[in-house]
Amino acid sequence: MKEVVYIANSVSENIEVWNLYKNGEMNLIQTVITDGQVQPLKIIKSKNLLYAGIRPNNRIITYCIDDNGFLKKKSESFIPGNPNYISLNYTKEFLFCSSYNSNCISVSPLNKYGIPQNPIQIIYNIEGCHSAKINYKYNILFVMSLKEDTIYLYHLTDHGILKNTEQKLLHTKKNSGPRHIIFHPNKDFIYTINELNGTIDVWRINKKNNIIQVENIQNINILNNVLSDRYWSSDIHITQCGRFLYASDRFLNIISLFHIDQKNYNITFFESYPTVEQPRSFSINDNNTYLIVTGEKSNTFILYSISQINGTLKKINIYNTSTNPIWILMHTINKN
């Protein structure tokens, strides 16, 4: 087993590949030039592929990942709008790409080699379409509309076409700005982070008479209800054990740790950590032992170890990156 880390540096127009060793040490092993401002990254582990969204000539570059984690360019696919977020359905047959500036979500089929084809559907007029992620159990795509304080719900058909669900919309608080979303790894609960008011919403999925209904059950501040004059919240992730949730804010330069109640799945603030400047993106490895966060203004990233007892973070080291690191992914390679 080998662990590598991929960092998208937008202004430098490159992707850095780092080794992560068992003792927590890291070293840079490859820098890939992207010929454009690289932003979102996404990996298909089963096919050893990495997708990178590039602007301003809007496209997705597909890279092969070799046994050592190195990237080799395989193809380019054009998409509508500047890419902000890339996600995939459960069978890895369709790729979803959201565009904040173009206010749209697109669906691109993947061929047998995992290469995105021309979009078969583009849904416009989703204001500030920031991220989109599908719930595998219910096959529902949740699309975050930051400027509308709304989350759109779409059912994905077998042919890759998005159709409105019965509920159609979820509404967050006014001027909250829903940005990113994460699903509980094994329960019917959803956690979304709101960029503009520094809060996290908890949602419960209910199924009755074959109709899915999503309801809000909690709204909590990223700073444990200690109010700030401004927020710029960015990313949210849960450990695979389903016990710990982390959220970042770029104005406050923090990562906050929440404990997930194992009975009602609400979250409780536990601790907040000062971190890199403008922590836009962070990632947790598969076995919940490390968390890495990038600072898009500091041009650094910090590696933390995660306590298996209470989820607390312990800083291991800080490393320099290229300019404007705005996306990071940890990836485990299982060698034969």
Task: Indicate the Cα dihedral angle 287, 7, 82, 49, nearest 10°.
Answer: -60
| CB hemisphere CA count around 307 (13 angstroms) | 11
Residues of the chain falling short of pLDDT 70: 335-336
Residue 145's nearest CA partner among 108, 195, 96 is 195
Which residues touch 274 (CB under 8 Å, ≥6 apart)? 253, 254
- What DSSP state is assigned to residue 187? S
Residue 24's nearest CA partner among 306, 280, 218, 322 is 306
The predicted model scores a pTM of: 0.97
* Chain Cα centroid distance, residue 173: 22
Residue tagged 């019917």 (tokens): 188
pLDDT the model gives residue 336: 61
Q: Measured between alpha carbons, how far is 232 from 225 in angstroms, rounded to an integer? A: 16
pLDDT the model gives residue 227: 80
Q: Which residues of 117-155 are buried (b: 16+ CB within 10 A; e: fewer)?
A: eebebbbeebebbbbbbbbeebbbbbbbbbebbbbbbbb
Residue 116's nearest CA partner among 171, 70, 50 is 50
Residue type, 30: Q
Residue tagged 């050893």 (tokens): 48
Which residues touch 307 (CB under 8 Å, ≥6 apart)? 313, 314
DSSP, residue by residue, 3-26: EEEEEEETTTTEEEEEEE-TTS-E
Q: Which two tokens stand for residue 278?
A: 């403008």
Give the residues across from 156 on adjacent strands.
162
Domains of the chain: 2-333 (2.130.10.10)
DSSP, residue by residue, 257-288: EEEEPTTT--EEEEEEEE-SSSEEEEEE-TTS
Confirm if 123 and 162 have CB atoms less than 8 A apart.
Answer: yes
Q: Which residues of 227-242 are buried (b: 16+ CB within 10 A; e: fewer)?
A: eeeebbbbbbbbbeeb
